[in-house]
Structure 1
Amino acid sequence: MPKPKAEENEKAKKITVRKQKLKAEDEEIIDKPEIEAKEKEIVDSNEMPEKLTEDSEEQPEPELKPRRVKILREEVLDAIYNPEDSDPKSQDVKKIVKKAKKRSRLFVVLAVLFLLALASAAGFFVFSRKNNQFNERITILPSAPTSVAAGGEVTISIAIKNNEKIAIKNTELTFTPPDGFTFKSSSPAPSNEFNNAWQVGTLNKGAGATISIVGSLVGDQDQDKVFHFILGYRPANFNYDFQKNADLKIRISSSVIKITPEVPLRINPGAPTDFPVTIENTGADPLEGVKLIVDYPENFSFSKANPKPSEGEDIWQLASIPANGKVKIIISGSITGAPGDTKEFKFRAGKEGLKEFEVQAQASGIGSLVKVGMSLTAVITNPSKGVYADWGETLNYMLTYKNESDSEMRDVVIAAEFMQKNFASQDVSILDLDNRSAAVAGKLDGRTITWIKADIPGLAKVKAGEGGDILLRLALKSGPEIKTQDDRNLVITTNARITVGSIADVEGKNFETQAPSLQTKVTTKLNVEPEARFYSEEQIPVGTGPIPPQVGKTTTYQLSWTLTNPTNEVTQVVIISTLPDGVIWTGKQSVTAGQAVNYNSETREVTWRINRVPPGTGSLFASLEAKFEVSITPTLADLGKIILLLNQTVATARDEFTTQDLRVEKAILTTDLTNDVAAQGKGLVVEAAPGT
Structure 2
Amino acid sequence: MRKFGITLLVLVLLGAVGYAIYYFLEPKAPNVSLDFAKPGDVFIGKPFALSISYANSSDQVLKNAKFLVVLPPEIAFLGKPADQRVFEKPIGDVGPGSVTPETLNLVALSGAQSFKEVTAKLRYNLANNPDVQFEATKTFDLGLGLPAVSLTVVVPQSINSGENFDTQVKLQNNTGEDVKSITLKLSYPPVFNFVKSDKEEARKNNQEWIFPMLAKGQTDSVTVNGNIVGADLARYQFAASASSDYMGQTYAMDNQTADIAISPSPLSLSVLVNGSDPNSYVARAGDEINYEMKYKNNSPVPLSNLKLTAGMVGEMYDFSTLSASAVFNSITNVLTWTQQNVGDLAVLNPGEERSISFRVRLKNAFTIRRLGDKNFSVKLNLSLESPTVPPGVAAQKTVTISKTETKLAGQTDVKATGYFYDSASGILNKGPYPPKANQKTQYTVHWKVTNYTTDIADTVIKATVIPGVNFTGQVKSNADTKPTYDAQSGVITWNLGSVPATKGIVTPAFEAVFQIEYTPSNLQVGKEVVLLGATELSAKDVFVDRGISAASDQITTFLKEDPKIPSNLDRNVRP
Asked if TM exceeds 0.5, the reply is yes
Deviation track 1:550-580 (CA, whole Å, cap 9, x = no partner) reads 4444332211111122333322211001112
Q: Which residue number in structure 1 is paired with residue 51 of structure 2?
A: none
Deviation track 1:319-338 (CA, whole Å, cap 9, x = no partner) reads xxxxxxxxxx9998749xxx
Matched-pair contact (CA < 8 Å) for 2:538–2:547: yes
Deviation track 1:161-191 (CA, whole Å, cap 9, x = no partner) reads xxxxxxxxxxxxxxxxxx99962259xx999
Between the aligned partners of 2:232 and 2:394, the Cα distance in structure 1 is: 29
| Aligned ranges 1:105-116 → 2 under 5 Å | none
- Is residue 269 of structure 2 the alignment partner of residue 376 of structure 1? yes
- Secondary structure in 1 matching 2:476: strand
Amino acid in the other structure paired with 2:346: A
Superposition TM-score, scaled by structure 2 size: 0.56
- Is residue 558 of structure 2 the alignment partner of residue 672 of structure 1? yes
| Aligned ranges 1:125-144 → 2 under 5 Å | none
Matched-pair contact (CA < 8 Å) for 1:438–1:471: yes
- Is residue 311 of structure 2 the alignment partner of residue 417 of structure 1? yes
Could you tell me how far 1:486 is from its partner in structure 2? 3.3
- Cα 1:352–1:430 change in 2 (3 A) is farther
Quote the sequence identity (%).
22
- Secondary structure in 2 matching 1:608: strand
Matched-pair contact (CA < 8 Å) for 1:259–1:363: no
Matched-pair contact (CA < 8 Å) for 1:548–1:683: yes
Q: Which residue number in structure 1 is paired with residue 222 of structure 2?
A: none
1:194 to 92, 104, 107: 104
1:469 to 312, 337, 355: 355
Deviation track 1:579-616 (CA, whole Å, cap 9, x = no partner) reads 12343322221122143311222211111112322333
Matched-pair contact (CA < 8 Å) for 2:296–2:354: yes
Between the aligned partners of 2:490 and 2:77, the Cα distance in structure 1 is: 74
Structure having the higher Rg: 1
Matched-pair contact (CA < 8 Å) for 1:549–1:686: yes
Matched-pair contact (CA < 8 Å) for 2:464–2:491: yes
- Is residue 372 of structure 2 the alignment partner of residue 486 of structure 1? yes
- Is residue 70 of structure 2 the alignment partner of residue 184 of structure 1? no
1:512 to 396, 399, 405: 399
Deviation track 1:318-376 (CA, whole Å, cap 9, x = no partner) reads xxxxxxxxxxx9998749xxxxxxxx9884434899xxx95457788697776x2x332
Q: Which residue number in structure 1 is paired with residue 540 of structure 2?
A: 654
Answer 1 or 2: which has greater strand percent.
2
- Cα 1:614–1:512 change in 2 (3 A) is same
- Cα 1:281–1:375 change in 2 (3 A) is closer
Higher relative contact order (CA 8 A, sep 6+): 2
Amino acid in the other structure paired with 1:674: K
Between the aligned partners of 2:287 and 2:552, the Cα distance in structure 1 is: 19
- Secondary structure in 1 matching 2:515: strand
Amino acid in the other structure paired with 2:240: A
Deviation track 1:250-301 (CA, whole Å, cap 9, x = no partner) reads 141433x433475799xxxxxxxxxxxxxx9989xxxxxxxxxxxxxxxxxx
Between the aligned partners of 2:515 and 2:295, the Cα distance in structure 1 is: 62
- Secondary structure in 2 matching 1:674: coil
| Aligned ranges 1:304-343 → 2 under 5 Å | 334=233
- Which has the higher mean CA deviation after the structures are superposed, 597-606 or 466-475? 466-475
Superposition TM-score, scaled by structure 1 size: 0.47
Matched-pair contact (CA < 8 Å) for 1:574–1:652: yes
Deviation track 1:518-564 (CA, whole Å, cap 9, x = no partner) reads 33333332221111122349799954433333444433221111112
CA RMSD of aligned residues (A): 4.8
Deviation track 1:451-505 (CA, whole Å, cap 9, x = no partner) reads 3334323323445555533333344434433344433344444332212244799
Deviation track 1:23-60 (CA, whole Å, cap 9, x = no partner) reads xxxxxxxxxxxxxxxxxxxxxxxxxxxxxxxxxxxxxx
Amino acid in the other structure paired with 1:651: L
- Cα 1:223–1:521 change in 2 (3 A) is same
Could you tell me how far 1:626 is from its partner in structure 2? 1.0
| Aligned ranges 1:389-400 → 2 under 5 Å | 389-400=283-294
- Secondary structure in 2 matching 1:563: strand
Deviation track 1:108-159 (CA, whole Å, cap 9, x = no partner) reads xxxxxxxxxxxxxxxxxxxxxxxxxxxxxxxxxxxxxxxxxx9999xxxxxx
- Cα 1:190–1:624 change in 2 (3 A) is closer
- Cα 1:365–1:574 change in 2 (3 A) is closer
Q: Which residue number in structure 1 is paired with residue 457 of structure 2?
A: 571
Between the aligned partners of 1:151 and 1:537, the Cα distance in structure 2 is: 74
Amino acid in the other structure paired with 1:631: E
- Secondary structure in 2 matching 1:435: strand
Between the aligned partners of 2:287 and 2:271, the Cα distance in structure 1 is: 19
- Cα 1:511–1:620 change in 2 (3 A) is same
Between the aligned partners of 2:505 and 2:284, the Cα distance in structure 1 is: 19
Q: Which residue number in structure 2 is paired with residue 588 of structure 1?
A: 474
Amino acid in the other structure paired with 1:513: T
Could you tell me how far 1:248 is from its partner in structure 2? 7.8
Q: Which residue number in structure 1 is paired with residue 411 of structure 2?
A: 525
Could you tell me how far 1:193 is from its partner in structure 2? 7.1
Between the aligned partners of 1:636 and 1:675, the Cα distance in structure 2 is: 26
- Cα 1:195–1:664 change in 2 (3 A) is same
Deviation track 1:639-691 (CA, whole Å, cap 9, x = no partner) reads 33322222111111123333222222222222333333332454631534xxx
- Cα 1:533–1:281 change in 2 (3 A) is farther
Deviation track 1:61-108 (CA, whole Å, cap 9, x = no partner) reads xxxxxxxxxxxxxxxxxxxxxxxxxxxxxxxxxxxxxxxxxxxxxxxx
Matched-pair contact (CA < 8 Å) for 1:537–1:676: no
- Which has the higher mean CA deviation after the structures are superposed, 534-543 or 400-409? 534-543
2:180 to 236, 244, 250: 250
Between the aligned partners of 2:88 and 2:388, the Cα distance in structure 1 is: 68
- Secondary structure in 2 matching 1:458: helix
Amino acid in the other structure paired with 2:188: I
Q: Which residue number in structure 1 is paired with residue 571 of structure 2?
A: 684
Could you tell me how far 1:380 is from its partner in structure 2? 1.6
How many equivalent pairs are there? 392
Matched-pair contact (CA < 8 Å) for 1:580–1:647: yes
Amino acid in the other structure paired with 1:378: V
Amino acid in the other structure paired with 1:415: T
- Secondary structure in 1 matching 2:564: helix
1:349 to 237, 240, 245: 240
Q: Which residue number in structure 1 is paired with residue 188 of structure 2?
A: 259
- Is residue 317 of structure 2 the alignment partner of residue 431 of structure 1? yes
| Structure 1 residues without counterparts, runs of 5 or longer | 1-149, 154-178, 197-216, 228-246, 266-279, 284-328, 336-343, 421-428
Answer 1 or 2: which has greater helix percent.
1
Matched-pair contact (CA < 8 Å) for 1:260–1:363: no
- Cα 1:587–1:438 change in 2 (3 A) is farther
- Secondary structure in 2 matching 1:609: strand
- Secondary structure in 2 matching 1:558: strand
Could you tell me how far 1:443 is from its partner in structure 2? 4.7
- Cα 1:684–1:376 change in 2 (3 A) is same
- Secondary structure in 2 matching 1:637: helix
Could you tell me how far 1:413 is from its partner in structure 2? 1.9
Between the aligned partners of 1:492 and 1:399, the Cα distance in structure 2 is: 16
Amino acid in the other structure paired with 1:606: I
Matched-pair contact (CA < 8 Å) for 2:558–2:572: no
- Secondary structure in 1 matching 2:523: helix
| Structure 2 residues without counterparts, runs of 5 or longer | 1-43, 48-73, 82-86, 90-101, 107-146, 152-170, 195-205, 210-227, 245-251
